[in-house]
Amino acid sequence: MKVLKFGGTSVGSAERIRSIANLLPNNEPCVVVLSAMAGTTNSLIDITNEAINGKMLMAIEKTKKLEDKYISTIEKLYETKTYRNRGEEFVSEIFQQIIRKFIDGFTDSNSREIVAFGEILSTGLFHMYLTELGKKSAYISALRFMRTDKDKEPDYFYIEESIDRAISTNPFAQVYITEGFICRNSIGEIDNLGRGGSDYTAAIIGNAVNATEVQIWTDIDGLHNNDPRFVENTTPLRSLSYDEAAELAYFGAKILHPATIQPCRVKGIPVLLKNTLQPEDEGTLITAFHNPQGIKAIAAKDGITAINIRSSRMLLAYGFLNKVFEVFNHYKTAVDMITTSEVAISLTIDNTENLTAITKQLSAFSSVDVEQNQTIICIVGDFVANRNGYAALVFGALKEIPIRMISYGGSNNNISVLIDSQNKVKALQALQGIVDNSTVINSELVAQTINY
Ligand code: ADP
Ligand code: ASP
Ligand code: MG
């Protein structure tokens, strides 16, 4: 069984929703994971913010505007009046539920419930569309199987059992349709996997059903060797190893949610990135196959905070690192980059939720400086087969840009540098000059090598 995930632009209009029905496999059952229509999650977050700020009338007005968009999509999506009526009923019922939450007294957990409606809407409309076409499809609600534990990690035991049950109660379906992004948390509330989380949903389902492949369908022809939003003439990479793709996703390649690779890697499930607008294009295939050659791709992660911690006990303070990391551990705050000298340590975090408490605790035994608006630039390639010259290439390209931190040697396929965010675009463009385009290899070779 394959898992196919379609992102926001791929379900962004009636025309796009109709076109993805043609991309489903004909000869085997599949699970289809859908994002909300492009723009909907942002609109729902904006609406809940109005409600949080007590502006209920504004929240209701914006909700009605969003509903109008859906009503006009329905007009174009279905062939028959019967399905147009069914679609309208379904949409109106959901928007009434949203408005009722504003009227009945808005709470914090209502925000997450409202944001979840984006995926519930697209999934319901697509299911109705397939039914109108006469395709054997079943809707399996993500809220009945996708659950996270108290550490916000997928509860695989529960997910596997529940999704198996959902599939086996609909044995004749060829297409099982479900929502990306949304889940229940450890106390059973409606929650989500974070922005862009539908990719992660697809990977978790792939793991749970032992899929033969997870396909991520989006609006670009694969993972490019640099960020196409800021750099011209980027090209898609045809093959990447799990490690390389995970590094790029973690360090900012927006095409993949950072957590997507892990659930597939542990089961050796290939991840194929495809373009809905150009379905014939081969896309990017991510597997265990590793092509040991050159500098392959560049990505950037914004919103980074650098913390410099200087030991007040000065030299030979063993146990200092331990004390520092205990603080980050206590606040469950992940550290991305780290450099050390004898008496000081610089590190970066992207979750600043507990920054004030962290700096307060660190200040009890050290002096602390914090710098915000930093960006990690991640250079992915093979830095093991031939170590000579890569560092010189990277720093030569960045010679005009002040570098705050460097991380080299921790990973075999990643060099990271920390710079001020205002220099990000300049750095990405400068590094494009050192990307080795000969690393774009033929996917047939990958297929043969890994027996795919
Ligand atoms: P979806 O809504 O389908 O999940 P996203 O907007 O999340 O799509 O991801 C696709 C977008 O990611 C592309 O349109 C592109 O602008 C952006 N992007 C950023 N970095 C990369 C990269 N290295 N390769 C491909 N796309 C990238
Ligand atoms: N709709 C959600 C978002 O916009 C999830 C996703 O698109 O993957 O973040
Ligand atoms: Mg996305």
Q: What is the DSSP string of 188-257?
A: S-EEE--TTTHHHHHHHHHHHTT-SEEEEEESSSS-BSS-TTT-SS--B-SEEEHHHHHHHHHTT-TTS-
For the chain, domains (ranges, CATH) are 2-219 (3.40.1160.10), 296-450 (3.30.2130.10)
Q: Is the predicted pLDDT of residue 36 greater than 70, yes or no? A: yes
Q: Is the predicted pLDDT of residue 446 greater than 80, yes or no? A: no
Contacts of 108 (CB under 8 A, 6+ apart): none
Alpha-carbon gap, residue 315 to 317, rounded angstroms: 6
283 lines ligand 1 (CB under 6 A): no
pLDDT digits (tens, 9 = 90+) for 49-105: 999 999 999 999 999 999 999 999 999 999 999 999 999 999 999 999 999 999 888
Alpha-carbon gap, residue 213 to 27, rounded angstroms: 15
CA of 27 to the centre of ligand 2 (A): 29
Alpha-carbon gap, residue 275 to 166, rounded angstroms: 29
pLDDT digits (tens, 9 = 90+) for 180-206: 999 999 999 999 999 999 999 999 999
| pLDDT bracket for residue 410 (50, 70, 90) | confident
165 lines ligand 2 (CB under 6 A): no
Q: Are 340 and 314 in contact (CB under 8 A)?
A: no
321's enclosing H/E stretch is helix 320-330
Residues comprising the chain, all counted: 452
Of 404, 244, 400, the C-alpha closest to 339 is 404
Q: Reduced to 3 states, what is the DSSP secondary structure of residue 309?
A: strand
pTM of the model: 0.94
327 lines ligand 1 (CB under 6 A): no
126 lines ligand 2 (CB under 6 A): no
Alpha-carbon gap, residue 202 to 262, rounded angstroms: 12
Where are any strands of DSSP class E within 356-435?
366-381, 405-411, 414-420
pLDDT of residue 300: 98
Q: Hey, which of 218, 235, 272, 298 would you mutate to test ligand 1's pocket, going by the most ligand atoms within 8 Å of its Cβ?
A: 218
Mean pLDDT of 383-410: 88
Own/partner pairs for 326-335, CB < 8 Å, 24+ apart?
327/358, 327/361, 327/362, 328/358, 330/361, 331/357, 331/358, 333/358
357's enclosing H/E stretch is helix 355-363
Which residue's CA lies nearest to atom 5 of ligand 2?
A: 196
Q: Are 31 and 3 in contact (CB under 8 A)?
A: yes
| pLDDT bracket for residue 239 (50, 70, 90) | very high
Q: Is the predicted pLDDT of residue 315 greater than 90, yes or no? A: no
Which residue's CA lies nearest to atom 26 of ligand 1?
A: 255
pLDDT of residue 444: 60
Q: Reduced to 3 states, what is the DSSP secondary structure of residue 366?
A: strand
Pairing state between β 366-381 and 414-420:
antiparallel
Of the candidate ranges 62-66, 360-364, 439-443, the one whose mean pLDDT is the lowest: 439-443
| pLDDT bracket for residue 390 (50, 70, 90) | confident
Q: Is the predicted pLDDT of residue 386 greater than 80, yes or no? A: no
Neighbours of ion ligand 3 (CB under 5 A): 7, 196
pLDDT digits (tens, 9 = 90+) for 145-160: 999 999 999 999 999 9
Q: Is the predicted pLDDT of residue 387 greater than 70, yes or no? A: no
Mean pLDDT of 13-30: 96
pLDDT of residue 343: 81
User: And the tokens for 28?
Assistant: 């085997």
Q: Is the predicted pLDDT of residue 384 greater than 90, yes or no? A: no
Cα 296 from chain centroid (whole Å): 21
208 lines ligand 1 (CB under 6 A): no
pLDDT of residue 311: 85
Contacts of 289 (CB under 8 A, 6+ apart): 239, 241, 446, 449, 450
pLDDT of residue 449: 57
The percent of residues above 90 in pLDDT, for the chain, comes to 85
More confident residue, 385 or 402: 402
Q: Which ligand is nearest to the CA of 9?
A: 1
Which residue's CA lies nearest to atom 25 of ligand 1?
A: 223
Ligand 2 atom nearest to CA at 197: 8
260 lines ligand 1 (CB under 6 A): no
CA of 257 to the centre of ligand 2 (A): 10
255 lines ligand 1 (CB under 6 A): yes
Ligand 1 atom nearest to CA at 226: 23
pLDDT of residue 320: 86
Q: Hey, which of 16, 220, 272 would you mutate to test ligand 1's pocket, going by the most ligand atoms within 8 Å of its Cβ?
A: 220
Q: Is the predicted pLDDT of residue 271 greater than 90, yes or no? A: yes
Alpha-carbon gap, residue 349 to 403, rounded angstroms: 17
pLDDT of residue 451: 57
Task: Name the H helices within 53-107.
Answer: 56-77, 81-103
pLDDT of residue 412: 82
Q: Hey, which of 11, 33, 35 would you mutate to test ligand 2's pocket, going by the most ligand atoms within 8 Å of its Cβ?
A: 35
Mean pLDDT of 365-384: 93
The mean predicted confidence, pLDDT, of the chain is 93
Q: How many CB atoms lie within 10 A of CB 111?
A: 19
More confident residue, 387 or 361: 361
pLDDT digits (tens, 9 = 90+) for 172-181: 999 999 999 9
pLDDT of residue 19: 96
pLDDT of residue 2: 98
Q: Is the predicted pLDDT of residue 399 greater than 90, yes or no? A: yes
Contacts of 448 (CB under 8 A, 6+ apart): none
pLDDT of residue 436: 85
